[in-house]
Amino acid sequence: MNNIDNLFNIKPYSLNKIKKNKLFYDYLEQLNKHHFNKCKEYKRIIKFFNKGKVDFKKNTPIPVNIFKSYKLSSITNKDIVKKLESSGTSNKGKSLIFLDKNNAYNQIKTLQILGSEFIGKKRLPMAFIDKKPNLKSNLRMSAGEAARTGFSIFGINHEYLIKENGKLNKKLLKQFAEKFKNKKKNNIWIHI
């Protein structure tokens, strides 16, 4: 498989559309081969949708509900360090994404590189307009918890501004704004 570390050396947003598409489809082909060879269920699904003829240059779309019905994992159970769970907003169950140590690291590294392009490298005070996450286990987290955890790497002095009753904690918001009002660079990000 192409080494993903090569991607970390490319400046984000620097490639034109043609180069970006070539790179994307080259990596996608390698990724499809990897999952085909490592995941028995994925192999069956790809063969089914391609009527037994597998061409990795063709991208086979997979219905999203399949991820709610099957455990699609290309890593062994002992290598799973994190399970990300979809929000389940469609009421048809939740999808699970299984991460090993290497994949979790690559996701964090990618987020750092992409995020620092528009947020900057300096960590700033960060307030989330959301409830404080109740992370009982680092092994399993929801999509929202994963997003907040991921973006928290860009901040310091984290505050969560929504009370348990679902209402905005105006007092905490005022305290946060007052405490950091003299910072030279302030960014406000709203999670809706």
pLDDT of residue 184: 53
Q: Do the beta carbons of residue 94 and residue 88 sit within 8 Å?
A: yes
pLDDT of residue 192: 34
pLDDT of residue 191: 42
Residues of the chain scoring pLDDT < 70: 1-2, 88-91, 135-138, 182-192
pLDDT of residue 75: 94
